[in-house]
């Protein structure tokens, strides 16, 4: 009988692993996640936010497995008769899902999303994302630990299969359905980080009924695409509703919190300076950006960057002016912001202030450019599951709460710490001037 291991987790109690997964976790690429914080420098606002991508990745694997098991239990006949899944195929897919979810974040940059703006574009002009780095790290650096373990003899899973899963490539065929467990409105990724971030930060905003959501998850055919999709049964509407509201609250109160966004700005600028200094003699075309995930050598160089290295360099006096700001906690201060859902006049005032403030407006932060976006709120809802007249609708059609939520489009203007009081007074004067001129134009 295969030996299993348990890791105690503050959210789920225990997370079980087999020997193969334990070896993958022990690989240096995965161990690096111990040195990548989940929420950057959010601890400067919420001191408990010291958790890492390491524990989050374990949690995503655990939740995705529970989701997979519940869906198979509730819809096995549908999966076999309508989608041509087999017993052996489902067993292999479960292994594929577990390992893919475990490895989905191994490509994160230092301080998670804070440094993503330092990723360059690919040949098609699209910016690389951490998912591309995760897939490349698996394909280039983890082939042996994935393909040569004795447990894999029954499944024949290749490192490239994992990379394709992470990139969402269509060559996965039928198994592509399960990628919704990692990237969708109902994915295990957000299911874990909402609960985990709330726990460590000490807030209740991200909490929802995970157990109820799990026992109502299902799979159905999307009539618009004629392809299978994850959904929630009608009995899980309020659990799905709570998850959407939790996302909204966590975005407004934590992820887009004004001070932590200032730290994201300074971190990115400091890391850019550090990269420029460290890569000054490299063959990279762009030396003040992160190496692209296009070769083994680039990946190895990229993965050497982690929070410990960045903090050590900044502590030693490196990182330029932004490094100094981080050491002194003299971050830029917010001097103006629009409402969460700004009107036309709010947006016009923002543009006017930016043009008038000049260098006093050190930078503008917009919700739409945040690494996390509260955008789509629709979750597929399956009515009358298992009946001849089962029907797929959207959550916004059934929930007045979700229907009423609007995407956050707030903008903020920041100014250097030492000029904050003078610039605040100037903003007030300029705002009054703008409103008076607007009245005259009417």
Q: Would you say residue 175 has pLDDT above 80?
A: no
The CB density around residue 158, as the number of other CB atoms within 10 Å, is 15
Residue 15 bridge partners (DSSP): 7
Q: Measured between alpha carbons, how far apart are the two ends of the chain, in Å?
A: 81
pLDDT at 178 over 60: yes
pLDDT of residue 372: 59
Asked if the structure places residue 168 within a domain, the reply is yes
Q: Is residue 338 part of a domain?
A: no
pLDDT one-digit tens code per residue, 404-421: 888 889 999 999 999 999
Does 418 map to a domain?
no
Q: What is the mean pLDDT of the chain?
A: 93
Residues of 109-132 as b/e, b for ≥16 C-beta within 10 angstroms? bbbbbbbbbbbeeeeeeeebbbbb
The C-alpha atoms of residue 302 and residue 108 are separated, in whole angstroms, by 10
Task: State residue 49 phi and psi, 5-degree precision.
Answer: -80, 60
Is 60 exceeded by the pLDDT of residue 373?
no
Mean pLDDT of 325-333: 97
Here the CATH number for the domain that contains residue 31 is 1.10.3210.10
Residue 247 to residue 254: CA distance in whole angstroms: 10
Q: What percent of the chain has pLDDT over 90?
A: 79
Does 203 score more than 90 pLDDT? yes
Q: Is 130 inside any structural domain?
A: yes
pLDDT band at 75 (very low <50, low <70, confident <90, very high): very high
Asked if the model's pLDDT at residue 431 lies above 70, the reply is: yes
Query: What HEC string does the chain produce?
Result: CCCEEEEEECCCEEEEEEHHHHHHHHCHHHHHHHHCECCCCHHHCCCCCCCEHHHHHHHHHHHHHHHHHHHHHHHHHHHHHCCCCCHHHHHHHHHHHHHHHHHCCCCCCCCHHHHHHHCCECCCCCECCHHHHHHHHHHHHCHHHHHCCHHHHHCCCCHHHHHHHHHCCHHHHHHHHHHHHCCCCCCHHHHHHHHHHHHHHCCCCCCCCHHHHHCCEEEEEECCCCEEEEEEEHHHHHHHHHHHHHHHHHHHHHHCCHHHHHHHHHHHHHHHHHHHHHCCCCCCCCCCCCCCCCCHHHHHHHHCCCHHHHHHHHHCCCCHHHHHHHHHCCCCEEEEECCCCCCHHHHHHHHHHHHHHHHHCCEEEEHHHCCCCCCCCCCEEEECCCCCCCEEEEHHHHCHHHHCCCCCCCEEEEECHHHHHHHHHHHHHHHHHHHHHHHHHC
Calpha distance 84→95 (Å, rounded): 18
C-alpha distance from residue 104 to each of 59, 90, 189, 206 (Å): 12, 20, 9, 21
> What is the domain range of residue 144?
4-248
pLDDT band with cut points at 50, 70 and 90 for residue 376: low
pLDDT (0 to 100) of residue 17: 96
Residue 275, pLDDT > 80, answer yes
Q: How confident is the model at residue 223 (pLDDT cuts 50, 70, 90)?
A: confident
Residue 159 included in any domain: yes
In a domain, residue 98? The reply is yes
**223 or 90: which carries more pLDDT confidence?**
90
Question: CA 164, CA 118: separation in Å to the nearest integer?
Answer: 24
pLDDT of residue 170: 61
**Which of 1-10, 57-66, 133-142 has the weakest average pLDDT?**
1-10
Q: Give the pLDDT confidence of 113-164 residue by residue, as tens digits.
A: 999 999 999 999 999 999 999 999 999 999 999 999 999 999 999 999 999 9
Q: How much is the pTM?
A: 0.94
Is there a domain that residue 292 lies in?
no
Q: Does the pLDDT value for residue 172 go beyond 90?
A: no
Say how many CA atoms lie within 13 Å of 204 toward its Cβ.
Answer: 1
- Residue 107, CA distances (Å) to 97, 136, 292, 303 in order: 17, 8, 11, 8
Q: Give the gyration radius of the chain's Cα atoms.
A: 24
In this prediction, residues 251-258 reach a mean pLDDT of: 94
Least confident residue range of 183-197, 258-272, 355-369 = 355-369
Q: What is the per-residue pLDDT for 1?
A: 52
Interhelix angle 307-315/258-278, nearest 10 degrees? 80
Return the axis-axis angle of helices 87-103 and 53-81, rounded to nearest 10°.
160
Count of structural domains, the chain: 1
Does residue 50 belong to any structural domain of this protein? yes
pLDDT at 204 over 90: yes
């Amino acid at each position: 009988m295969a030996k299993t291991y348990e890791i105690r987790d503050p959210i789920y109690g225990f997370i079980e692993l087999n020997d193969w997964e334990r070896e993958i976790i022990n690989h240096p690429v995965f161990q690096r996640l111990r040195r990548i914080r989940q929420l950057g420098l959010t601890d400067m606002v919420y001191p408990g936010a010291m958790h890492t991508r390491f524990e989050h990745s374990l949690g995503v694997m655990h939740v995705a497995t529970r989701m997979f098991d519940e869906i198979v239990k509730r819809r096995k006949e549908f999966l076999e008769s309508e989608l041509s899944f087999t017993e052996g195929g489902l067993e292999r897919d479960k292994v594929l899902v577990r390992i893919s979810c475990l490895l989905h974040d191994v490509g994160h940059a230092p301080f998670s999303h804070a440094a993503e703006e330092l990723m360059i574009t690919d040949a098609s002009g699209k910016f690389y994302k951490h998912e591309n780095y995760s897939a490349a790290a698996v394909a280039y650096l983890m082939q042996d630990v994935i393909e040569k373990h004795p447990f894999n003899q029954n499944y024949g899973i290749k490192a490239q299969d994992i990379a394709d899963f992470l990139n969402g490539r269509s060559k996965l065929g039928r198994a592509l359905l399960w990628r919704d467990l990692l990237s969708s409105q109902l994915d295990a990724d957000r299911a874990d980080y909402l609960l985990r971030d709330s726990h460590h930060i000490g807030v209740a905003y991200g909490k929802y009924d995970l157990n109820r959501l799990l026992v109502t998850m299902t799979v159905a055919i999307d009539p618009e695409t004629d392809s299978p999709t994850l959904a929630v049964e009608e009995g899980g509407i309020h659990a799905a509703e709570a998850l959407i509201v939790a996302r909204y609250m966590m975005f407004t109160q934590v992820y887009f919190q004004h001070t932590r966004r200032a730290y994201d700005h300074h971190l990115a600028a400091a890391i850019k300076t550090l990269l420029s200094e460290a890569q000054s003699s490299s063959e990279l075309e762009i030396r003040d950006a992160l190496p692209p995930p296009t070769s083994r050598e680039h990946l190895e160089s990229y993965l050497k960057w982690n929070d410990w290295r960045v903090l050590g360099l900044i502590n030693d006096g490196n990182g330029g002016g932004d490094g100094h700001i981080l050491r002194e906690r003299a971050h830029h201060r917010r001097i103006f912001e629009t409402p969460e859902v700004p009107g036309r006049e709010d947006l016009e005032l923002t543009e006017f202030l930016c043009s008038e403030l000049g260098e006093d407006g050190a930078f503008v932060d917009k919700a739409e450019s945040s690494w996390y976006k509260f955008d789509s709120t629709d979750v597929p809802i399956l009515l009358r599951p298992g009946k001849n007249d089962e029907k797929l609708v959207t959550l916004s059609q059934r929930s007045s709460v979700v229907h009423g939520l609007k995407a956050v489009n707030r903008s903020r203007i920041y100014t250097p710490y030492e000029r904050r009081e003078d610039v605040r007074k100037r903003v007030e004067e300029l705002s009054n001037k703008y409103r008076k001129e607007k009245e005259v134009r009417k």
